[in-house]
Structure 1
Amino acid sequence: MQRRKFIKNATITATAIISTPLAASYSNEKTKITPTKGIKPIVIATWDVANASAKAWEVLKNGGNSLDAVEQGVMIEEADESNQSVGKGGRPDRDGKVTLDACIMDHQGNCGAVLCMQNIVHPVSVARKVMEETPHVMLAGKGAEQFAYEMGFEKENLLTEKSKQEWLEWKKTSQYKPIVNIENHDTIGMLAIDSIGNISGACTTSGMAYKISGRVGDSPIIGAGLFIDNEIGGATATGVGEEVVKTVGSFLIVELMRQGKSPQEACEEGVNRIIAKNKGNLNFQIGFIAINKQGETGAYCIQPGFTYRTYSEKGHLNNTPDSYIKV
């Protein structure tokens, strides 16, 4: 099952579509659906991350809170070496270094993030420690890594042999500058509402493959890659992070819901804002998912190919949202 080809370039190994093995008990159904009506508890996540959404649902169905659900959910993807866009096994930057970004936000508006961090498998958990153990919101680079060690996280080489070989192959023909349609990447963003109605979210990524060293996208930026307002709802993004940052996309979607739009309407408006700013130059992908306080969901993207998972008492579904560009 394909799920991760966001920016197309079939000429290089690095842009191979990535698949995640699904347990036999998980629904393999992909449905073109209308946004869900209100229901909770519920989990929604970018991409076909069945193992991650199943883990988050396990936490919720056992009476756990939404913050634990989203953290434990995305940790599944961070530890999955076959997922080359998140955590261990993520594709490196142009210097061959795997750098990770993540953020987390709870129902009280507390948040934490780590940016451009190396050698730690679970950046989302370090982000939670930043939120809970420091007066700060963001830690970056070597400072984030040192903080992780102080919190008991172990150092581990994140560059797997597969990702290393693909990087070496890419180096044969690449130029050391951003090249459109060559950075294949995506982000795992997850939102959850627990049984008492509290909303939390998490977002984690290894960023663009072969990015310039030090590059950070939207994923760990509160308000861009993720935003939660427990009175209204939450949103998260995947795709070319620079475009999401320019519109503060996730915050925008939550604010649109505050103004009365449904999650689906808000996601469509968020994408349309980005489209308008690019004046027809749409050679990239953006996808948003959102949830409101009532448990209604929505999703929208520019290019076809984006999917998202939902898990609730109604089942575990892999959904295909509408896209701006029709095929």
Structure 2
Amino acid sequence: MLNRRKFIKASAFTSVAGLVSQQLLTNEPEEAVLNNPVVISTWDAGLEANKAAWEVLSTGGRALDAVEKGVMVTEASINCCVGLGGNPDREGRVTLDASIMDENYNCGSVAFLERIKHPISVARRVMEKTPHVMLVGDGAQQFAVAEGFPLESGELSPDAKKAYENWLKKSEYKPVINIENKGHGPFAPQQLENGDWNHDTIGMVAMDAKGNLSGSCTTSGMGFKMRGRLGDSPIIGAGLFVDNEVGACTATGQGEDVIRVAGSHSVVEAMRSGLSPEAACKKIIERIVRIKKEQAKDIQVAFIAINKKGVVGAYALHKGFSYAVRTTKGEQLIKPKHYFK
């Protein structure tokens, strides 16, 4: 997987090349329609994830297959804070959450899953092979093993081990944003030296050539969290929601506050009322600000969305968030508008 600086260089190249216009993607009128297929995903890691999704979409494949294959790229990388390479909880153990949803309201998720490389694929098996929506903990792991997923070692990645050792020096557990990730507050994405926030989630939504929508979301959760903590990512309607008649949305950031407003579902409902994807994301971010008041300055939340016309958009609490877009016109990394200036 490319490192973060190479991602930025790649995104700058595609921007200069004019492959995708940000104005076309985020500000075009609602009556305009992008050529599907289209896939969008959170953060700069989404550039590589979108490439894998595009291999499915560009050959007429289903959006559901695309959003699974796409985020699997991020899950497999130990150079990112997603998957088994992510930061552990307070006990030094990595626990994973994931959810997936297709165009027919079918959905599946796993939470508090340990030692499984691809939780997104286990979530899909839950959706397709069980009468349930969510499996958690030991039960989720037992199901995964029964389905043929191998148990990984459970050893921390070198980066995660170093971060955990640094965190143990003070064992502070508080939200801090816009600092380098050196064992500080685990709630919020942390800003790295180049100005981009570290993160622990990738969410992806896509429209295929048939106009059908699907979405996925996978995370290692917030680093150094309390044992057993769950965020929004595995919760359908919070971290992810798809309504094939309206649109799809996924979230990243402080999951507790996404849950409070049923974030992704609320964005989709705002699109149902006629708002564009960007305006719908903004509306729910503003709702979070009204709830959190001054505390909103200390957290990060962002939403990305796509409507049934193929128009995409995003909005964040703070600067630093980016999302990746891939269409027939090419790829681009976009920094959307944000509430706090």
TM-score (norm 1): 0.90
CA distance in 1, matches of 2:15, 2:318: 17
Alpha-carbon deviation of 1:113?
A: 0.2
Q: Which has the higher helix share?
A: 2
Within the candidate set 125, 131, 134, 2:127 is matched to 131
Tell me what 2:182 maps to. Answer: none
TM-score (norm 2): 0.86
The letter for the 2-side match of 1:97 is: R
Tell me what 2:257 maps to. Answer: 243
Within the candidate set 294, 313, 319, 2:334 is matched to 319
Alpha-carbon deviation of 1:24?
A: 8.5
Provide Cα deviations, 1:192-225, integer angstroms capped at 9, x if missing partner.
0000000000000001010000000001100000
CA distance in 1, matches of 2:142, 2:68: 21
Tell me what 1:179 maps to. Answer: 174
Within the candidate set 85, 94, 110, 1:114 is matched to 110
RMSD between aligned residues? 1.9
1:1-327 to 2 correspondences below 5 Å = 19=4, 21-22=6-7, 28-29=13-14, 33-34=22-23, 35=26, 37=28, 38-39=33-34, 40-49=36-45, 50-83=47-80, 85-158=81-154, 159-175=156-172, 178-181=173-176, 182-183=185-186, 184=189, 185-281=199-295, 282-326=297-341
CA distance in 2, matches of 1:71, 1:157: 23
CA distance in 2, matches of 1:190, 1:36: 20
SS of residue matched to 2:279: helix
SS of residue matched to 1:67: helix
Alpha-carbon deviation of 1:48?
A: 1.1
Q: Percent identity?
A: 49
Alpha-carbon deviation of 1:29?
A: 4.4
| Number of residue equivalences | 307
Gaps of 5+ in 2: 177-184, 190-198
The letter for the 2-side match of 1:111 is: C
Q: Which runs of 4+ in 1 moved over 2 A?
A: 18-34
CA distance in 2, matches of 1:320, 1:28: 15
CA distance in 2, matches of 1:52, 1:91: 20
Gaps of 5+ in 1: 1-17
SS of residue matched to 2:237: coil
Alpha-carbon deviation of 1:46?
A: 0.6
Distance 1:74 1:20, change over 3 A: farther
SS of residue matched to 2:110: strand
